[in-house]
Structure 1
Amino acid sequence: MRYVRINDHLIVADQPDLKTLASLKEEGFNQVVNLRPDGENTSYPSHEQAAHTVAEMGLRYHYIPVTINTLTRADIRAFQAVLHEKNGPVFAHCASGKRVMTLYVLGQILDGHMHADDILPFGRNYGFDLTEAVKWLEKEQERKLHVEGFFDKSTWSVQYILIDPKTKHCAIIDPVWDYDEKSGTTSTENADKLLRYIHDNKLHLEWILDTHPHADHFSAAHYLHEKTGAPTAIGVHVRDVQKLWKKLYNLPNLKTDGSQWNHLFKEGDHFTIGSLKGRVLFSPGHTLASVSYLVDDAVFVHDTIFMPDSGTARADFPGGDAKTLWRSIKEILALPKETRLFTGHDYQPHGRHPRWESTVGEQLRTNPHLKDMTKAAYVKLRQARDKTLPMPKLILHALQVNIQGGRLPEPEDNGVSYLKIPLNTLRGTTE
């Protein structure tokens, strides 16, 4: 096995065997990072075998499977997060060590600690050809739209800030308002993180966009509007969702005209973020109101298509429909294959790190819900899968807030807001 010491905190290695992994604690390591996806070489230990061996030694194990061709900022940031923990020496490996070096130097570049011209000499100094890292960086720098993702572990949600580097204008998509269902407390940690990023990078916020009323977290759209004055927006069919849930919640005073948002988008509407033009796609199926936002070479689909190893969104909520969802998915997949696709949730299958960016081409090639799929087969698969899924734990908490644009119910005479939970209702609407 070959390994090189980058600094006192990081050792880069090629593929270790299980015996080597079992010896790492004695050598002073506290963490192991595996960047190699399973299946590349059947002679290598599997991710599960490696994780078990490392755990038995009392070390922390991180699974960040990447390939050079599908590398994203989320992969780089996940690797950086391990290094930033400063929890003892890190043993990071892939098949040859090249991917580890690639993520390391790109992280240094993104954080301003290294210049692009330093990549190739740095790699050569340690015996690696990092030409692919240079190519990735050049392609990233050429993009007209910069996207920063923020993952909320408690709800598996991804929030986005879309940035026009030319004008420093930006938009937020699907911000999370923190809610602890056990204590009934709300907080703004996630939303404030978005505001800090905007402030620290001297950005101007133009839009606060929701893709649909969410069933698994509270929307922070209204809070952010109050803090910044930026307009909120959602698809016009939110009115249909409001009418549906007004009845389910028995809320006679709920306005169902969408006036809780500053703007309602119709199919095909355009909007701008600085010098960039966006277009609204109506993408129902998961909900009656779901929309996708297409900006430059990127489409933000939230609960429609997940990462290729995670399939697609469910369609069994009130107002959902698998056939309708298939039509929406087909429209998205008709975009150019190089279109970047940003999803709204990631459930980290097989214990991997959070990921949220793919491409249309990657989805068509590798997503088992989409590859060589017909409408009939998809509907059958989706409906069978949905029958096995429990309802989201926050669906009844969240939707009464989110159909009002992220507002809590009006406080009662004691100054406290109360959520309303209809009993034995969802089961009847999904049978």
Structure 2
Amino acid sequence: MPPVKITEQLSIGGQPDESAFAAFRADGYAGVINLRPDGEEPGQPGNEAESRAAKAAGLDYDFIPVTGPTITEADIRAFQEAVADTKGPVFAHCRSGTRALTLHVLGEVLDGRMKRDNVVALGRAHGFDLAGAAVWLDRQATRTPIVTGFFEARTSSIQYVVTDPATKRCAIIDPVLDFDERSGATGTMSADAVLAHVEKEGLTVEWILDTHPHADHFSAAHYLKEKTGAPTAIGSHVIDMQRLWRDLYNLPALATDGSQWDRLFAEGDSFKLGSLAGRVMFSPGHTMASITYLLGDAAFVHDTLFMPDSGTARADFPGGSATALWHSIQAILALPEDARLFTGHDYQPGGRHPRWESTVAEQKRRNSHIVDMDEQGFVAMREARDRTLPMPRLILHALQVNMRGGRLPEPEANGRRYLKFPLDALTGAAW
């Protein structure tokens, strides 16, 4: 099947042979976008082979694996970015070309350049059935709350703005304060991007929420509270982490009553976001203080579950437990099958684009740490895997900040702030 030209920048089609990549270059294409998950069918070249063929032909290459039923806005935006960033025409392929055209038209509708009612007709004009795209748009229109993710590449973290469309009140979940451990520099670029979105959309920040004290980035909760006046919150078991880590850091003056936050949430607690009712689940395992926020059909599961191709979170930090993690996962998977699950990190296996949204059904069907697994097998797998992992490079930097609700240490007599961390206190050295 020859490429089907959609715009001056984009052509689509089915699976090419590796030998076709040189011809793409000769035909004037500057890049290839592969939308097929590896192993979709026998004989498929796969990501690594296509990447090599593209490089040999002098083509840009992007790997954005999607399936029709699991497309998210992150996939649509990644596709748009890949097309826009290529300096010349792009050939995007899946098995038949339908997914490529679907991603294109969904982006056009979301950005207001096309109406939903024109989607199916446009597909038919090019020889494709886009009924699935129309279904996606109809389903998306009923989703509440509106969730906007911000991927922070340095730490592979995702910040969220969660909005009640009826009142335009929002919560910011797991915000990132930028930190460069090599220079000691701190910055607010990531948090400011969130604030810019809030201002652009005319939102009012009602909550600043952390799911747990993070071990791989600084929390921007305190900074955002200063900027917005919104209350901060975290799980009530943060006090247990404060007591544990106060001793590890030898910080006797650290208050260990959770007073660094405006509210501490326990299992089953409720809260309001505009007209939406929120609920809290205690989700220990990754840390002893982890919680999940439930708002509408969305659950913010932090580091308990990753995307299905990445498995589950480690449980070997002080106070962590693989057994507790298993039970927390089971409670999350007991939510409705179509509940949206938003994770706290994405490490982009295979070099794919960042993703952060799945569903309960998708996790049950595709997550290799869950499928056909019982508690005993999961605990054995998780503990064996964790023994091979070095500690996060920022764990000792981050926790002394995050135990204080994102506050940096107070300046010393010379006006400078200093981090303090213990030597030989944790296992898991990088060597």
Q: Does residue 269 in structure 1 map to residue 269 in structure 2? A: yes
Q: Which residue of 1 aligns with 2:165?
A: 165
Contact 2:390 2:428 in 1 (8 A): no
Q: Does residue 90 in structure 1 map to residue 90 in structure 2? A: yes
Q: Which residue of 2 aligns with 1:397?
A: 397
CA distance in structure 1 between the partners assigned to 2:120 and 2:363 by the alignment: 32
Report matched runs for 1:240-319 at 5 Å: 240-319=240-319
Q: Secondary structure at the match of 1:18?
A: coil
Q: Which residue of 1 aligns with 2:65?
A: 65
What does the per-residue CA deviation read over 1:11-43, in whole Å, with 9 as the maximum and x for residues that have no partner? 112111111112222222222100011222212
Q: Which residue of 2 aligns with 1:114?
A: 114
Q: Does residue 51 in structure 1 map to residue 34 in structure 2? A: no
Q: Secondary structure at the match of 1:337?
A: coil
Report matched runs for 1:368-383 at 5 Å: 368-383=368-383
Report matched runs for 1:21-420 at 5 Å: 21-85=21-85, 87-420=87-420
What does the per-residue CA deviation read over 1:280-304, in whole Å, with 9 as the maximum and x for residues that have no partner? 0000111110000011111111110
What is the aligned-residue identity percentage?
60
Q: CA RMSD in A?
A: 1.3
Q: Does residue 427 in structure 1 map to residue 430 in structure 2? A: no
- Shifted more, 295-304 versus 38-47: the winner is 38-47
Which amino acid is 2:357 matched to?
E
Which amino acid is 1:327 matched to?
H
CA distance in structure 1 between the partners assigned to 2:54 and 2:310 by the alignment: 26
What does the per-residue CA deviation read over 1:235-288, in whole Å, with 9 as the maximum and x for residues that have no partner? 111011111110111111111111111111111110111111110000011111
Which amino acid is 2:131 matched to?
T
CA distance in structure 1 between the partners assigned to 2:288 and 2:372 by the alignment: 27
Contact 2:30 2:86 in 1 (8 A): no
Which amino acid is 1:5 matched to?
K
CA distance in structure 2 between the partners assigned to 1:264 and 1:424 by the alignment: 32
In structure 1, stretches of 5+ residues that fail to align are: none
Q: Secondary structure at the match of 2:6?
A: strand
CA distance in structure 2 between the partners assigned to 1:404 and 1:35 by the alignment: 43
Q: CA deviation at 1:164?
A: 1.0
CA distance in structure 1 between the partners assigned to 2:86 and 2:16 by the alignment: 23
CA distance in structure 2 between the partners assigned to 1:243 and 1:384 by the alignment: 28
In structure 2, stretches of 5+ residues that fail to align are: none
CA distance in structure 2 between the partners assigned to 1:184 and 1:152 by the alignment: 18
Q: Secondary structure at the match of 2:160?
A: strand
Q: CA deviation at 1:84?
A: 2.7
CA distance in structure 2 between the partners assigned to 1:331 and 1:121 by the alignment: 43
CA distance in structure 1 between the partners assigned to 2:208 and 2:197 by the alignment: 15
Q: CA deviation at 1:56?
A: 1.7
Which amino acid is 1:391 matched to?
M
Q: CA deviation at 1:312?
A: 0.5
- Shifted more, 394-403 versus 79-88: the winner is 79-88
Q: CA deviation at 1:428?
A: 9.5
Contact 2:3 2:91 in 1 (8 A): no
- Shifted more, 183-192 versus 17-26: the winner is 17-26
Q: Secondary structure at the match of 2:332?
A: helix
Q: CA deviation at 1:329?
A: 1.0
Which amino acid is 2:247 matched to?
K
CA distance in structure 2 between the partners assigned to 1:275 and 1:84 by the alignment: 38
CA distance in structure 2 between the partners assigned to 1:43 and 1:331 by the alignment: 39
C-alpha spacing 1:228/1:314, structure 2 compared with 1 (3 Å): same
Contact 2:21 2:53 in 1 (8 A): yes
CA distance in structure 2 between the partners assigned to 1:259 and 1:168 by the alignment: 29
